[in-house]
């Protein structure tokens, strides 16, 4: 089969997954050049700039792949498939006039091919090679983890915060949970920063920044779940206790991390003294 000079693969990639990548690889094998078009709408559940950034990272060293993003102003979900693909064909002719064919795994391939007057090259329409969809991933990302590219996995990591006062077992529990679930944990930044309980504003801010950095760093390498020993709410509580006020940056840093689940640990174990603990009586 003679290769097409230029072919098109298009979709929302919400998120891009191994099925999309297999389709694009197939298109590359059939074309000298492939255009990967990502359509988006302002209210998409995953922001379009994030999705396009993922595509850019995945294909950054592939000069025979051109990435474009286009706002979806050509779809009308009230129309039947045959009629709506007529609108899609008008869009494709306008935006990609020099393509010689397109690639897909969907039912719309045949009617779109009819309206475009160009061949549709189908790939894995039965979803036997890569049994996944973006909808399934959005609904239950952990169940389809193996189909999510590494660059995208941090977006779907579930962050679990172990919360509570000192000496209730947060550190030990986070370590044991991380080991059990074959993932990593976020240690308490204060333990890395403090040398004593002589605390000032600069130290509190350093702790807040470092705690935020640690969560972001460990999210990049976590396996589905990330267990976090404390959070920025705790840092603010200690700031109020030691300083009498909360530095303005701490609530800002707090908003940078969203936890999916909190465990509030009870004070039902014996308080253990160490050089950095001084609130056992409370």
Identical fold at 4-147 and 157-264?
yes
CB atoms within 10 A of CB 264: 9
User: Please, which residues have CB within 8 angstroms of residue 150's CB and are 6 or more apart in sequence?
Assistant: none
Q: Report the length, in residues, of the chain.
A: 282
The residue extents of the domains of the chain are 4-147, 157-264
| 142 DSSP 8-state letter | G
pLDDT (0 to 100) of residue 191: 80
Phi, psi for 94 (deg, rounded to 5) = -70, -45
Rounded to whole angstroms, the maximal C-alpha distance in the chain is 80
User: Please, which residues have CB within 8 angstroms of residue 88's CB and are 6 or more apart in sequence?
Assistant: 74, 75, 108, 112, 115
157-264, what's its fold?
Answer: Rossmann fold (3.40.50)
pLDDT (0 to 100) of residue 40: 96
What CATH number is given for 4-147 in this structure? 3.40.50.620
| Ramachandran bin of 202, using left for φ above 0, alpha for ψ from -120 to 50, beta for the remaining angles | alpha
pTM of the predicted model, to two decimals? 0.87
pLDDT along the chain (282 residues), means of 10: 90 96 96 97 95 97 96 90 95 96 94 96 87 95 97 98 88 96 94 77 94 97 97 93 94 97 91 68 68
pLDDT (0 to 100) of residue 192: 82
């Amino acid at each position: 089969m003679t290769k097409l000079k230029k072919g098109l693969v298009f979709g929302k990639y919400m998120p891009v997954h191994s099925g999309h990548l297999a389709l694009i690889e197939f298109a590359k094998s059939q074309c000298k050049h492939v255009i990967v078009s990502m359509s988006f709408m302002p209210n998409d559940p995953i922001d379009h700039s994030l999705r396009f950034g993922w595509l850019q990272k995945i294909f950054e060293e592939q000069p025979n792949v051109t990435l474009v993003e286009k706002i979806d102003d050509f779809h009308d979900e009230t129309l039947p498939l045959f009629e709506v693909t007529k609108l899609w064909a008008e869009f494709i002719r306008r935006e990609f006039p020099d393509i010689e064919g397109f690639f897909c795994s969907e039912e719309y391939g045949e009617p779109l091919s009819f309206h475009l007057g160009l061949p549709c090259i189908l790939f894995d329409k039965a979803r036997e090679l890569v049994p996944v969809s973006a909808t399934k991933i959005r609904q239950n990302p952990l169940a389809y983890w193996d189909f999510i590219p590494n660059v995208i996995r941090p977006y779907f990591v579930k962050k679990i915060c172990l919360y509570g006062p000192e000496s209730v077992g947060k550190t030990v529990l986070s370590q044991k949970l991380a080991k059990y679930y074959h993932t990593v944990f976020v240690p308490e930044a204060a333990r890395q920063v403090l040398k004593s309980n002589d605390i000032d504003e600069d130290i509190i801010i350093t702790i807040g920044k470092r705690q935020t950095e640690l969560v972001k760093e460990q999210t990049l390498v976590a396996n589905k779940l990330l267990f976090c020993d404390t959070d920025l709410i705790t840092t603010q509580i200690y700031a109020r206790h030691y300083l009498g006020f909360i530095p303005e940056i701490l609530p800002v840093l707090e908003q940078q991390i969203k936890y999916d689940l909190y465990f509030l640990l009870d004070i039902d174990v014996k308080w253990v003294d160490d050089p950095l603990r001084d609130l056992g009586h409370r």
